[in-house]
Structure 1
Amino acid sequence: MKKTLPVIFGIIILLLFIYVKWSGSEPALTGEQPAFTPQFVAPATNFPLNVELKVALVVGEKDAGAVAAYEQILAEEGFPYEVVPADTLSNFTPGKLAEQYVALIIPEETGRNITPSLAALCSAYVQQAGGKIFLGTDTGTVDQRGMARERGLLSNLAGLQYHIPGPEEKMRKGNIFVPGNSPLRKYFDPGLFERDMLKIFDYPAVKTPFLPISGVTADILAYTGPQFVPENGFVMQKKYPGGGVVLYVNGAPGLLKIRENVDFVLRGLLKYFLLDLVGLPRLVASPGGTAGLVLSMHVCSGAYFRDLDRILALKLLAGEIPFSIFVTAGPDNDRPGDKRGVDVLNARKGRPYIEALGQYGNIGAHGGWIHNYWAYHFGELSDQQKEDFINLNYQALEKVTGERVSVYAAPGGAHDPVVNDFLAALGTKAAAIPLAFNSPPTHAWFNGRPEKRFWLFGYTGLTYGTAFENMLAGGKKPAEIEQDMVQLIDSMIPRREIRQIYFHPVSIARHPGMWRNIQGHVLKHVGEGNLTVRTMNDFTDFLNRHERVHFSVRETGKGYFISAWSPVSLKEMTFALPLGKSNRVRVPAGTRIKEMNGWAYVTINKDANRMAFLVPVVKKKVD
């Protein structure tokens, strides 16, 4: 028996090697892998000269809901795009299509009825013209009579066979797994993974519907589990000679966003496609092009007075960075009349604390006047009671601070679409609601449409907690939380996104060492120029300016020509431009530039409404 063990072991290794080669991918890692250092490196590009660089968001005859989710993220992330009806693409040859659009994005639900001639154009666009396509799960699966095809028209191009399930088959749903060695991994927070599975704290694991597939020759970047086999592929990538590539997504990331407010799946996939594969220039959605961070403290009741005394006495809130402090202002907490609230209008209770905390940042409303009563009895409150409680909270804080309240956080996460109307009527610019976790600010979806009257700042946390308190309550030691939060903050830096981390006074007052180390790590990144910490209110002002900027980027023989216009101001707006490994840029007047990993980040310094300038690209000097 001992003599046969090496032979058996060798056979197993050989079979595994054959399987990996056949599947076109690496075996999934199980969370035990060595630390993976993410690299955000600009790809080699071959853009057409003197043409506005943009992608086409391809839509069908009937505008499906998923399209709006794709368009929303493209706009929020500052990617140049154009909405293009699928039937108009037939006006192009493959070469002309590649000159007009550096990539095509075909969302789920929008390309089901594409014609064989359009499918042939897409194939030639990739294989002959070096085009790149983000391919939705069910593209080309239904013919012009509305009948299901035996396989999708772009199956071969995607490197697999896919089809809509027949009457005898059921649409399956699966959890999403992203192996540690996948290039997708860096676009998701490390705090979202239970081993390799995407998971939000206190919610079921993220699930997506997926189509039956077979014959996979593409590389598998993510899968739907529970086993890593080609038939469970979720994201697959097929590269072609000449630079063409197809990223096939066997799922419904757009529907995840509009139905469940799970934002990070679609956002991560689009950013991987457009940054890693296309190298598309963009207008970075953060001031100065760095990562951004909102540090939020929720003051819910008078139970935190002793903790606030300790925080103020020990000076635990650094004066170098501003905080967003959300306060439930009423005199009660668990029920009306219990006198356990913050009571901000009382000079002997809450008012001195609010006046002291106001020196450390911006005061916002933490919902509806009576924190726990709102949180635990929300479903019993009438719409009029909700409106009254919110109005009382805003009015009391404005009386104490002398400033208008413009940001909000939902107590206990209790919220519904009716509250949106009350917040909008009060001029609320941004709200923290337990939706769109671990994502940049976005517009949340309610009843099938996005709430555009104010921004949603989701909470960024770990699989075992969003606030430090529930992390500690779950049994995690302060040292573990500190280590994981430091890793989470480090992962934000190269993504250059705005995020929100929140806590209550009790956790930092009773674990000052943990907090000082986390805060010190934030200050380190701020000092190095890699991170911007601002209040939610200030970031919202930037985002409102960002979404109103009109711009174009063209590659010329001398570099990139940028034209930008804003009805407000272009100051702090940053353009990310791909350079490759051997190039660098010269600094145009009125800007500053930072180069990193083959990208140039060009930030406008002056307060201008309109700018047009060349960013010269030159070869690096070789020593």
Structure 2
Amino acid sequence: MRLNLLKVSAWRKHVFGVLALVAIVACALLAYRSMNEGPGKPQSDSIVLVVPDNLSGENRIYAQAWMDAALEEGVRLSTVTASEFVRHGLNGERDYSAVILPDTVHRSMTTAFVNKVRQFVEAGGALMQVYDAGILNENGFYEQGASRMSDVVGVQYGFYARLRNDMAHQATVYGAPEVMVGLHIPPGRWIAKDGRAMLSGYGEDMLRYPAMHTGSGYTGKVLMVSDENSIIAGERKLGKGRVLFVNLPLGYLKLRTDGVLLHGFLNYFATGMLEQPKLSPAPQGIGGLVLNWHCDAQICIDAVDSLIKDGVFKRGPFSFHITAGPDQRQFNDGRGVDLANNAAFTEVVRGLMRDGHEIGSHGGWIHDWFGLNVNEKNQSSMEIYLQKNADAIQTLTGKPQTEYSAPTGNQPEWATRWLDEHHVKAYYFTGNIGQGPTRTYRNGRRDEHIWSFPVQTYGQYSTIEEAYMSDIPETEIANWLTSLVRFAAGTGEIRLIYFHPPGAVRYLRAIDALLESADAEQARHQFQWHTMTQMADFAQRREQTVWRLASDRNDVRVTAENKESLDALTWLFPTDRYARPRVESGQGSVSMQGASWKVVAGPGNRIVIAAALKGSGA
């Protein structure tokens, strides 16, 4: 008996020894894998925006702008302080996938923090370094030479000691057309010049942006350059990780209504470089356009009749906005639509409603006079005209107005607040161009409930009338409009364009080309028309969706909930990284769209999606 017990004891020691050896080997393999994983692998699925420990109240709006952009882009992002980032991992926390160092508010950094960031990247993390982040040391001073971050981003910059106030300059920005599309910057927001794509904007073909002078010899993939060949944006490897350098004040620009660059680079970083799943901005992940018609004068009425006869309004649905008063340019000129007393036109508009088009308000009763005279100081005398126009639209449609467009593009901040207080869901003004539906920031203040729809421009032009007066050939406008359809279909993005009916009649072949291109993409289930109200409702429901991204063994898992419904919300997984996703819980369909797996949620309130990483053995 004693001999048997000794044998059992020896056997147990042998088994425990083997198990211990297996555990040691497994830990070693896990550690090796962790050390050799690139950015965004399953052990590292979170992206963090690193902000200063002493972020002031007035600068918190910058962090909020980044978080809003991530929410609108369908990217998971959280904030941590610099000291939290330095301490992270000491208690066994999971590694971050990537960090973003934002402009403007994170100019001062300690040397220890800079070294920590470099170690993070070299070990396999990803970094998005923006403009002047870390340009100052912990004492608030510039370095004697270039920025301490120069060796990390791959090019020397930040030469304050030598250039002083000329360290930065106003730069015209260029990139290849495919880079612009990859950043989800639509054609027209950039125009081709000398074989390159140049950023442009309403009223100015060649926009100039603040950028720092850089040295030569960038060691990476150049995405954008300035007119004097400074690096504006580039991507490079560093150790086992990667760095995206953006030499533009993205947060500063977004707070001044120019958010297309922040949104574009954030999406490129998260989904292009890190290949993380994203929540599509479009219902069912199908890109599309909002076509907004402005009818502000009598001359619009005959033009609408011509467009109806041409079959334009058999497509859509479109948004159709009316300036309802009897005058157009000034009081008593009699050039207005006079909606209340124009029975024939009222019936035309009711026909548009029956065809599914949304009727909205185009400003303040007398189009030109209101647009030219409304300002931040005259709310008390001007809001009555917003109310008169809203009342006229409600009398016609039988419901309160839900969408609005600013006459001459002029939109004082009080007018936006007035619309918000009157439960208008969506508006447009020309101060915001190029991107999809967004919460606009102006002068440090964010639109709280209403959705802004930035208009698309063709270089310096936003209307066909402007192009016509500048003798832009109709074929050129047709090419631009059809390229917008291809852009929306190819990227799955939503954008807004607008016309006045009299201008559209002058470019009718271009309008027909737009509609025929949209018909073709719609037949392929790659394109959809929307009204502003439809997209605002979807964007609101999408914003209220709570979803998490996590990894478990070889799977990346998305868990999403919405108290109202998840219906038509769509998650995209890059096909070159993920195997076909599985819906583990809830309702959803899986298909392939371009370079992504597309998972479209059904009408339930919760869904769990899992996707195995390719090459993981799953």
Give the TM-score, by structure 2 length: 0.86
Judging changes above 3 Å, is the alpha-carbon distance between structure 1 residues 613 and 265 closer, same or farther for their aligned structure 2 residues?
closer
Partner of 2:290: 294
Judging changes above 3 Å, is the alpha-carbon distance between structure 1 residues 551 and 384 closer, same or farther for their aligned structure 2 residues?
same
Partner of 1:197: 198
Match status 1:590 vs 2:583: no
1:521-532 to 2 correspondences below 5 Å: 521-532=517-528
Match status 1:56 vs 2:48: yes
SS where residue 177 of structure 1 aligns? strand
* Native 8 Å contact 2:313 2:352 kept in 1: no
Partner of 1:152: 147
Match status 1:236 vs 2:227: no
Match status 1:341 vs 2:333: no
* Native 8 Å contact 1:105 1:133 kept in 2: yes
Tell me the CA shift for residue 92 of structure 1: 2.7
Superposed CA deviations along residues 292-327 of structure 1, whole A, max 9, x for unmatched, are 3111111111111211222233332124x2010010
- Paired with 1:617 and 1:587, the residues of 2 have a C-alpha distance of 15
- Paired with 1:47 and 1:134, the residues of 2 have a C-alpha distance of 13
Match status 1:389 vs 2:385: yes
Partner of 1:26: none
SS where residue 209 of structure 1 aligns? strand
* Native 8 Å contact 1:386 1:419 kept in 2: no
> Residue 329 of structure 2 aligns to which amino acid in structure 1?
D
- Paired with 1:398 and 1:117, the residues of 2 have a C-alpha distance of 62
Superposed CA deviations along residues 403-423 of structure 1, whole A, max 9, x for unmatched, are 221110001112211212221
1:56-75 to 2 correspondences below 5 Å: 56-60=48-52, 61-63=54-56, 64=59, 65-75=61-71
* Native 8 Å contact 1:177 1:222 kept in 2: no
1:99-178 to 2 correspondences below 5 Å: 99-128=94-123, 130-150=124-144, 151-163=146-158, 165-166=160-161, 168-178=164-174
- Paired with 1:568 and 1:543, the residues of 2 have a C-alpha distance of 13
> Residue 525 of structure 1 aligns to which amino acid in structure 2?
E
* Native 8 Å contact 2:39 2:98 kept in 1: no
Judging changes above 3 Å, is the alpha-carbon distance between structure 1 residues 526 and 603 closer, same or farther for their aligned structure 2 residues?
same
1:523-562 to 2 correspondences below 5 Å: 523-557=519-553, 559-562=555-558
- Paired with 2:38 and 2:570, the residues of 1 have a C-alpha distance of 20
* Native 8 Å contact 1:296 1:502 kept in 2: yes
* Native 8 Å contact 2:181 2:487 kept in 1: no
1:44-443 to 2 correspondences below 5 Å: 47-49=40-42, 53-60=45-52, 61-63=54-56, 64=59, 65-93=61-89, 99-128=94-123, 130-150=124-144, 151-163=146-158, 165-166=160-161, 168-180=164-176, 183-187=179-183, 188-194=185-191, 195=193, 196-203=197-204, 205-214=206-215, 216-219=217-220, 221-223=222-224, 225-228=226-229, 232-242=230-240, 244-259=241-256, 261-319=257-315, 321-348=316-343, 350-360=345-355, 361-379=357-375, 382-443=378-439
Which has the larger displacement, 574-583 or 527-536?
A: 574-583
* Native 8 Å contact 1:413 1:433 kept in 2: yes
- Paired with 2:177 and 2:322, the residues of 1 have a C-alpha distance of 43
- Paired with 2:376 and 2:151, the residues of 1 have a C-alpha distance of 55
- Paired with 2:307 and 2:263, the residues of 1 have a C-alpha distance of 37
SS where residue 583 of structure 1 aligns? coil
Identity of aligned residues (%): 23
* Native 8 Å contact 1:343 1:350 kept in 2: no
RMSD between superposed Cα atoms in Å: 2.7
- Paired with 1:139 and 1:172, the residues of 2 have a C-alpha distance of 14
Give the TM-score, by structure 1 length: 0.85
Judging changes above 3 Å, is the alpha-carbon distance between structure 1 residues 313 and 251 closer, same or farther for their aligned structure 2 residues?
closer
Q: How many residues align?
A: 568
Judging changes above 3 Å, is the alpha-carbon distance between structure 1 residues 498 and 571 closer, same or farther for their aligned structure 2 residues?
same
Tell me the CA shift for residue 276 of structure 1: 1.4
* Native 8 Å contact 1:592 1:604 kept in 2: yes
- Paired with 1:430 and 1:272, the residues of 2 have a C-alpha distance of 27
Judging changes above 3 Å, is the alpha-carbon distance between structure 1 residues 504 and 618 closer, same or farther for their aligned structure 2 residues?
same
> Residue 370 of structure 1 aligns to which amino acid in structure 2?
I
- Paired with 2:83 and 2:536, the residues of 1 have a C-alpha distance of 38
Judging changes above 3 Å, is the alpha-carbon distance between structure 1 residues 189 and 338 closer, same or farther for their aligned structure 2 residues?
same
- Paired with 2:594 and 2:546, the residues of 1 have a C-alpha distance of 27
1:593-608 to 2 correspondences below 5 Å: 593-605=590-602, 607-608=603-604
- Paired with 2:337 and 2:519, the residues of 1 have a C-alpha distance of 30
Superposed CA deviations along residues 570-596 of structure 1, whole A, max 9, x for unmatched, are 111111123426833456662122324
SS where residue 519 of structure 1 aligns? helix
Superposed CA deviations along residues 170-192 of structure 1, whole A, max 9, x for unmatched, are 24323342332764553222222
* Native 8 Å contact 2:587 2:607 kept in 1: no
SS where residue 597 of structure 2 aligns? strand
* Native 8 Å contact 1:77 1:285 kept in 2: yes
Judging changes above 3 Å, is the alpha-carbon distance between structure 1 residues 47 and 212 closer, same or farther for their aligned structure 2 residues?
closer
* Native 8 Å contact 2:42 2:555 kept in 1: no
- Paired with 2:178 and 2:521, the residues of 1 have a C-alpha distance of 27
In structure 2, runs of 5+ residues without a counterpart are 1-36
- Paired with 1:570 and 1:290, the residues of 2 have a C-alpha distance of 16
Superposed CA deviations along residues 469-528 of structure 1, whole A, max 9, x for unmatched, are 222222122222112211222122222221101111113334433322211111221221
Tell me the CA shift for residue 371 of structure 1: 0.8
> Residue 327 of structure 1 aligns to which amino acid in structure 2?
I
- Paired with 1:313 and 1:109, the residues of 2 have a C-alpha distance of 54
Tell me the CA shift for residue 546 of structure 1: 0.8
- Paired with 1:459 and 1:183, the residues of 2 have a C-alpha distance of 21
Superposed CA deviations along residues 174-211 of structure 1, whole A, max 9, x for unmatched, are 33423327645532222223423211131363322223
> Residue 253 of structure 1 aligns to which amino acid in structure 2?
L
Partner of 1:518: 514
> Residue 476 of structure 1 aligns to which amino acid in structure 2?
I
Judging changes above 3 Å, is the alpha-carbon distance between structure 1 residues 617 and 164 closer, same or farther for their aligned structure 2 residues?
closer
